[in-house]
Amino acid sequence: MGSRVAILDFNKSEELLTSTITEWMIDNVVVPVASAYGLSEDYKYLKTSIRGFLTGKELEKLALEVGFSSARHYELSGGLMGCLVAMR
């Protein structure tokens, strides 16, 4: 019987508007809220990290290259989040 994996994370959208909104949300919502709990350093890296992410199509391709039989990436929350679902 096969295995299935689902990976939920911030998304690197191919849409410029979505990418701009994501960065704005990190700077103006995520980090300020985290700061209220003394956790700003734990979230400041996100914007830079997301810029280095693979796109959904690139994640699907990578999953297939490493042996998964199928892979599908779903953009969630208007493209701010993404979920890769792959099966072996």
Does residue 2 surpass a pLDDT of 90? no
Expressed as residue numbers, the domain containing 33 is 4-87
Percent helix, strand, coil in the chain, to 5, is 50, 25, 25
Distance between CA atoms of residues 56 and 41, nearest Å: 27
pTM of the model: 0.80
Count the domains in the chain: 1
Is 1's pLDDT higher than 90? no
pLDDT of residue 31: 94
- Residue linked to tokens 């993404």: 82
- At 20-78, the pLDDT tens digits run 988 998 999 999 999 999 998 899 899 899 999 999 999 999 999 999 999 999 999 88
